Structure 1
Amino acid sequence: MEKHLLLTVADDVGSIFEADFIGSFFRNKAEVRVTLFSVAPKSYDEGVDENGGAPEPKVPGAHVHRDKWQNAIHLKRDILIRLGFLDDHITGKVIRSRYGTIEDIILEGKKGLYDAVILARHTVELLDQTFLTSVSREILNHKIDFPVWICRHPEIGRRNVLLCVDEDEASMRIADHVGFVLQGETQHNITLFHVDTGERANPRDILDRARQKLMDYGIPETQIKNLIVQSRSVPRSIREEAVSGAYAVIAVGHDRAQPKGLKEWLVGSMCMKVLEMLNRCVLWASQ
């Protein structure tokens, strides 16, 4: 089944971690579509107004911004093609910033119905800088209804997914996402990982539910294994297993009963606590 990913792109042409990651992670590249998405400064000259009409008045230096951001898109496109993705499966989109980088990415993620939104390193670094205006707070209080992949400095060539689950429905949603993405990607094994703190439901029942989600997408049982550890610290246990197993991906669900803004979800949640401890793998997170 085809996957459609939104890959954020900055004007930093040297940042290629996220492109290298998906190039290394996916073997069946013909099943992957990628939209390269950039949020340029307000001075960026799109050439036409938002309704496709006549060109807007020029802003001093606007052509410099236009060339800079379009060149970044073209570079990422060339990299993806060299990595084996199909030319006609890659599109580019540059918009003038309306509310701020993070907010504009959220709006595009909702509007485009992407299977995942990939936040590159430069975008992650903006998370703590975007919560200053009432517009920001209003937008970020909406539910994030798409999975997010966060790349910092992933080690290219890694394999396998650590799927962290508990009894929350968010865990079943991230299990569903992992099953969807890994259809036909037989080079990756999946470890169903549960940290038993002594306060939750039967761990075996939780793992059985998550396993069924994966098998519903045709993931064979030979690709799935269970791992239960006893600990009082969930983030620390995830980190220890992530390091020892050298996984390509750590997949974590986040309960929608918790605060729903992106800052509260990522910066203030277990997702970000895990991310802060990891550099060589990619975090997949879903509400």
Structure 2
Amino acid sequence: MEKHLLVAVGDEYQTSQSLRFVHQFFTARPDLKLTLFYVVPRRPDWRLDPINLEANPEAIVHIEQDKAAHGLPAMEKAKEWLFSMGFAKEQVRVKFSQGKLGTVKEIIKESEEGLYDAAVLGRRGLSWFEEMVTDSVSHRILWEQLTFPIWICRNPQRERKNVLVCVDGSEECMRVADHVGFMLRNEPGHDITLLHVCSDDRCIDAEMIFGRAMSEIKANDIADDRISIKVLTSPNPAKSILHEAEARRYAAVAIGRTSHRPSTLKHIFASTSLKILRGIEGAALWLCK
């Protein structure tokens, strides 16, 4: 089954961690469709508000100049690199955004309207997400409107493989389990480990934690011998997850985000997810709501 990824690309395509991760992670490339997405950034020296572009022709001139000077060359080079890495021309398309909503919101808008299987962010992914969790408007978008999986790639290392799926029995974790199963169904080189971190020795029923998650994964035709489970006990789940990801050299860590709106910014991502986001290195973080 075809998988369609939205891959955010910036000016410096050659350092694009999103492109590198996709190339390194997937081997069944004929099943993959990529849309390279370039958002023309708002330049401080424009001193223009491009929100109402129809009423601001000067903004359009600046945007088109920036697109021609930076966006088009970057996208052409990114396509050429992908073609040299074995992707067929019909698998790759490019799309530009005038950036009138800002980078974060343009990515969200395109991801939702395009019904992509995931949005992939690279080098600047962390700064974009920190913008989302520190800005009140983006904060509301993150918790109420983000309806697609998003991957943040942090210096992906070529030799890593497999996916660590963090589960706690929640609906969000069921969705992330299904997402991982779907993305790995034709990737036999990657196995899946379901991980639950208990805060003390009194872990809740493992069957409840792992049973349905395993069913979601198996529904994607993932063989039993590709799935394992692991339970850790720690007062600091984020630290344990990061340690496990590094020790076992996972290519990706997948985690569900709560659908409940936090009472303060301090509790965004239920703290654990945000700590993993900030601490992960050499791998990608897959987030599902």
Taking structure 2 as the reference length, the TM-score comes to 0.86
- Give the SS at the match of 1:195: strand
Matches within 5 A, 1:16-27: 16-27=16-27
Deviations 1:133-176 (A, max 9, x none): 77656644532100010012111231111111111111110000
Among 195, 204, 218, which residue is 1:215 paired with? Answer: 218
1:5 aligns with: 5
After TM superposition, the structure 1 stretch with the greater mean CA deviation from structure 2, 212-221 or 191-200, is: 191-200
Letter in 2 for 1:213: E
2:249 to 223, 246, 249: 246
Q: 1:125 to 1:92 in 2, by over 3 A?
A: same
**Residue 112 of structure 2: aligned partner:** 110
Alignment-derived partner of residue 80 in structure 1: 82
SS of structure 1 residue aligned to 2:61: coil
The correspondence of residues 184-263 of structure 1 with structure 2, limited to 5 A, is: 184-198=186-200, 201-259=204-262
Larger deviation: 103-112 or 9-18? Answer: 9-18
2: CA distance, partners of 1:89 / 1:263: 41
The alpha-carbon deviation at position 74 of structure 1 amounts to 1.3
- The runs of 5 or more residues in structure 2 that have no matched partner are 47-51
* Partner amino acid, structure 2, of 1:188: H
User: Secondary structure of the equivalent of 1:149?
Assistant: strand
The answer to whether residue 182 in structure 2 is matched with residue 164 in structure 1 is: no
Structure 1 residue 123 displacement after superposition = 3.3
- CA–CA distance in 1 between the matches of 2:192 and 2:136? 41
Q: Work out whether residues 151 and 282 of structure 1, in 8 Å CA contact, stay in contact via their aligned partners in 2.
A: yes
* SS of corresponding position for 1:159: coil
2:73 is aligned, of 67, 71, 74, to: 71
Find 1:175's aligned residue among 174, 177, 184. Answer: 177
Change (3 A) 1:130 1:204: closer
Give the share of equivalent positions with the same residue, in percent. 34
1:63/1:32 Cα in 2 relative to 1: closer, same or farther (>3 Å)? Answer: same
Separation of aligned partners in 2, 1:275 and 1:134 = 19
- 8 A contact 1:117–1:147 mirrored in 2: yes
Letter in 1 for 2:150: V
Distance 2:258 2:280 in 1: 21
Name the amino acid aligned to 2:101: Y
TM-score by structure 1 length?
A: 0.87
Q: Per-residue CA shift, 1:8-39, capped at 9, x if unaligned? A: 01112332222121111111100010000011
Q: Which amino acid aligns with 2:18?
A: E
1:123 to 122, 125, 148: 125
Partners in 2 of 1:167 and 1:262 — Cα distance? 24
Q: Cα 1:265–1:84, aligned 2, differ >3 Å: closer, same or farther?
A: farther
Which letter does structure 1 place at the counterpart of 2:222? I
> Residues 196 and 203 of structure 1 are in contact (CA less than 8 Å); yes or no, is this contact kept in structure 2?
no
CA distance in 2, matches of 1:74, 1:260: 44
Higher helix proportion: 2
- Do structure 1's residue 14 and structure 2's residue 17 form an aligned pair? no
Question: Structure 1 residue 201: deviation in Å?
Answer: 3.0
Superposition CA RMSD, Å: 2.9
